Structure 1
Amino acid sequence: MSSILIKNANIVNEGSIFQGDVLVENDIIAEISNSISAKSSDTKIIDADGQYLLPGMIDDQVHFREPGLTHKADIESESKAAVAGGITTFIEMPNTIPQATTIELLEDKFTIAKETSWANYSFMFGGTNDNLDEILKVDPTKVAGLKLFLGSSTGNMLVDDPETIENIFSKTKLLISTHCEDEATIKKNLEEHIKEYGDNIPLEKHPVIRSEEACYLSSSKAIELAKKTGARLHVFHLSTAKETKLFSNKKPLSEKKITAEVCIHHLWFSDEDYKTKGTKIKWNPAVKTKNDREGLLKALKDDRIDVIATDHAPHTWDEKNNVYTKAPSGGPLVQHAMVALMEMYHKGLISLEKIVEKTAHNPAILFQIKDRGYIRRGYKADLVLMDLQSPWTVNKENILYKCGWSPFEGAVFKSRVTHTIVNGTLAYENLKFPNRSHGERITFDR
């Protein structure tokens, strides 16, 4: 039996911070106590020396680009970067090539992850205008949920037929996650800007084109439909303060039927950063104003927004380094998500307890993930040690993404991940990967 004993940690879990030890045996948290002694000479002892022990982040929205787009990223490369960043579980999106819009194609992705993923995993099934029959075959106990692109998608994954959308909302038992931007509004705005600027539209116009109006219109329609049909709706990557008014904090998360997520980049950047960051911060939905950023943080802290995620979506730099109309949206984030949140903690913007709630506890509750997301006896040992006083600078040499760049290049973070344990395996330790972790397909209590 393998065992790891973490001693003298500040344990952040379930709304409190307390000093103690944690014993891991095989893949399970075996004991949590003020003081634990090693039971075997083979036990690996990690003296946390006052560092902070957190449950690993569960990132409910990533694009790891496999299959079909592996020149940008793949499950192995990005899950390894995620583990270095303190993410131990991810849920990946269906817009790969081919798209995961049939049971067979979805299971192909699970097969790849079983062989190559460093972190635990599940995948979203993709909805289209014409695959309702296939959606209804999906077993809700085995798959994270259904992803609907109600705006901004590739291939045929834009679901824009009102009758189809209502049929899906009415009939599926899956949790529905949506990308909400109104395509007609965006198309009109884009055409007007192309008339004025041609292809070389200033990046500062991105949040004007993919506007507050486009986001609010689509989000409000999805919520109205969810209320009408009783569907379980989770709205991905809110980007405007106005949208936060559509969500409630009057019920505990476990009782909510309509929930929301915010991503790191919408909490960190604002439209003032386009001048220096350019296409590196071109995302859909767009990074918007400081007021939007502040409104999102306020809604996160008062529990109208339930989850923090990354929407990690890498492209090569050659692809991104282009004029507005040709530069794809999306960027890599999994390696730097947790340290960015710790920087927000250092600035007094959010507490450690709230960070853990939104990155680990709440994704586990929302998706009904079995035995993960908490530091609890009997739960899977997915754990992260953070040193909150170990400054470092993001640069090309320490970026682990396959695409080789980051929107955080040049940023100095006060905190760093020192250790990541995945299913009881010490996968990451002080800038090295001492053991090859093997992620597991997460299971659901549904």
Structure 2
Amino acid sequence: MASKYLIKNAQIVNEGSIHSADLLIEGQRIVKIGADLKVDGAVREVNAEGKYLLPGLIDDQVHFREPGLTHKAEIYTEAKAAVAGGVTSFMEMPNVIPQTTTQELLTAKYEIGRQKSLANYSFFMGATNDNLDEVLKTNPAEVCGIKVFMGSSTGNMLVDDEKTLEELYKNAPMLIATHCEDEATIRQNMEHYVAQYGDQIPFELHPVIRSAEACYKSSSMAVALAKKHNTRLHILHISTGIETALFDNTLPLKDKRITAEACIHHLWFSDQDYKNKAQWIKWNPAVKSANDRDKIWEALLDDRIDIIATDHAPHTIAEKNNPYTKAPSGGPLVQHSLTALLDFYHQGKISLEKIVEKACHAPAECFQVTERGYILEGYFADLVLVDLHKPWKVSPENILSKCGWSPFDGHTFQSSVEQVWVSGHLAYAEGKFDESKKGARLTFERN
């Protein structure tokens, strides 16, 4: 028998409005939304009085480190952390070991997801300077996109051959997602500061080394290539104010060929935080100035930036506790992205409707995900029930990412994730997981 859940008296946040209603889940799907729903037969009733029901978040940029880097994280552990944070679907990056740059390796990764992931999953195909033939075999209906590192970042998958880039942008059968930082600019800056400090470069120089100029040079080149070839381009983790001028808000999202993403850490932190947070907020691209942060917020709220994601990228505490030149960039965020956004709501920076638009609806639209990202009859039941007024403090005891730390350690969030359904399965409730069913592979409705 298909399981049934009747969620009663929820404040449903969907498509720009909030309204009180009941919602019936049967099997994997939302089958009815309305007032005073009555159900025949056995049903598990959930009292959602005073709580808010959101679509499950779709995080379009995570690094779960499997295969090959499982001392940092695993698909199993990070998918659980995601679900506990209200992220019901993720799209994961190819800079693992071996790098996901052949169809065979991509297929193997999907098999790990099928066996281990509590959340719904998709995996990017990785591009290099010499695997164009493999990239072009990727099935647009079954894979979220092609990842291009236009800047080496973590894992040294730099694509810098001009001919390769032209061919990729010209022939890609689906969305290209790019990490944009100019490697030559960064290398020159790094050499300057190594000569001055050796390994002991102060962490507050990270945004100087991985500068706004390096970001803009690369992202503007990506935009120019996309316009030249009419490529479906998505630029990840915008970190500077100057880059926001590259994007448009005159078209509806469904008609955009060039889109952009902002990440939680670039919305939350600024360069003033390096004094206290140091390596724990070392990301690529770097957290930059408060003015850059303000400009990213402006672009997010006026729809030049389309999506909110995390770039969840764990490293161990031991790895992070190295001097600047050896401390890797990246950190865990997927468990705390929704509660961080809800803190912004409490601060009056963003509405609940806009959070849902940017973290749920927009990723579904941008990647053309099949029947997810919205609370609609007939759609998959990926749902998050939140209590906006149930504070909790982040501590090592409640951090679920395998690395065991968080840049939010010690912070008290104002809201809590109470229950999470993944494809109709109540995967998380009141701090406990039900792992009897795994998440589903995402599919994509592309022409």
TM-score, normalised relative to structure 1:
0.99
Question: Which residue of structure 1 lines up, in the alignment, with residue 336 of structure 2?
Answer: 336
Give how far 1:350 is off.
Answer: 0.3
Question: Which residue of structure 1 lines up, in the alignment, with residue 274 of structure 2?
Answer: 274
In 2: Cα distance, 1:156 partner to 1:240 partner:
23
Does residue 30 (structure 1) correspond to residue 21 (structure 2)? The answer is no
In 1: Cα distance, 2:292 partner to 2:35 partner:
42
Tell me, yes or no, if the aligned pair for 2:118 and 2:435 is still in contact at 8 Å: no
Residue identity in the other structure for 1:89: S
Residue identity in the other structure for 2:324: Y
In 2: Cα distance, 1:274 partner to 1:99 partner:
31
In 2: Cα distance, 1:108 partner to 1:331 partner:
25
Question: Which residue of structure 2 lines up, in the alignment, with residue 152 of structure 1?
Answer: 152
Residue identity in the other structure for 1:346: H
In 1: Cα distance, 2:259 partner to 2:157 partner:
22
Give how far 1:137 is off.
Answer: 1.0
Give how far 1:164 is off.
Answer: 1.0
Instruction: Give matches, 1:37-436, under 5 Å.
Output: 37-40=38-41, 42-436=42-436
Tell me, yes or no, if the aligned pair for 2:154 and 2:329 is still in contact at 8 Å: no
Give how far 1:434 is off.
Answer: 3.7
Q: Which moved more, 1:19-28 or 1:31-40?
A: 31-40
Tell me, yes or no, if the aligned pair for 1:124 and 1:144 is still in contact at 8 Å: yes
In 2: Cα distance, 1:195 partner to 1:139 partner:
47
In 2: Cα distance, 1:329 partner to 1:317 partner:
12
* Cα distance per residue 1:36-71 (max 9 Å; x no partner): 12322x311110111000000000000000000000
**3-state SS of 1:308 partner:** strand
* Cα distance per residue 1:83-129 (max 9 Å; x no partner): 00000000000011011100000000000000000000011000000
TM-score, normalised relative to structure 2:
0.99
* Cα distance per residue 1:190-245 (max 9 Å; x no partner): 11011111111001000000001000110001001110111110000000011001
Tell me, yes or no, if the aligned pair for 2:238 and 2:263 is still in contact at 8 Å: yes
**3-state SS of 1:245 partner:** helix
Q: Which runs of 5+ in 2 are unaligned?
A: none
Give how far 1:152 is off.
Answer: 2.5
In 1: Cα distance, 2:44 partner to 2:301 partner:
37
Give how far 1:394 is off.
Answer: 0.2
Residue identity in the other structure for 2:27: N
Tell me, yes or no, if the aligned pair for 2:56 and 2:86 is still in contact at 8 Å: yes
Give how far 1:154 is off.
Answer: 4.4
In 2: Cα distance, 1:49 partner to 1:178 partner:
42
In 2: Cα distance, 1:268 partner to 1:93 partner:
23
* Cα distance per residue 1:296-334 (max 9 Å; x no partner): 011001000000000000000000011000000000001
Question: Which residue of structure 1 lines up, in the alignment, with residue 3 of structure 2?
Answer: 2
**3-state SS of 1:266 partner:** helix
Q: How many residues align?
A: 445
Tell me, yes or no, if the aligned pair for 1:119 and 1:437 is still in contact at 8 Å: no
**TM-aligned CA distance change 1:154 to 1:398, over 3 Å:** closer
Question: Which residue of structure 1 lines up, in the alignment, with residue 19 of structure 2?
Answer: 18
In 1: Cα distance, 2:207 partner to 2:435 partner:
43
In 1: Cα distance, 2:32 partner to 2:321 partner:
50
Tell me, yes or no, if the aligned pair for 1:67 and 1:98 is still in contact at 8 Å: yes
Q: Which runs of 5+ in 1 are unaligned?
A: none
Tell me, yes or no, if the aligned pair for 1:391 and 1:412 is still in contact at 8 Å: yes
**3-state SS of 1:372 partner:** coil
In 2: Cα distance, 1:437 partner to 1:14 partner:
29
Tell me, yes or no, if the aligned pair for 1:426 and 1:435 is still in contact at 8 Å: no
In 2: Cα distance, 1:77 partner to 1:219 partner:
33
In 1: Cα distance, 2:129 partner to 2:389 partner:
50
Tell me, yes or no, if the aligned pair for 2:153 and 2:284 is still in contact at 8 Å: no
In 1: Cα distance, 2:206 partner to 2:279 partner:
10
Tell me, yes or no, if the aligned pair for 1:128 and 1:156 is still in contact at 8 Å: no
Residue identity in the other structure for 1:54: L
Report the aligned-residue RMSD: 0.8
Give how far 1:437 is off.
Answer: 3.5
In 2: Cα distance, 1:12 partner to 1:344 partner:
16
**3-state SS of 1:426 partner:** strand
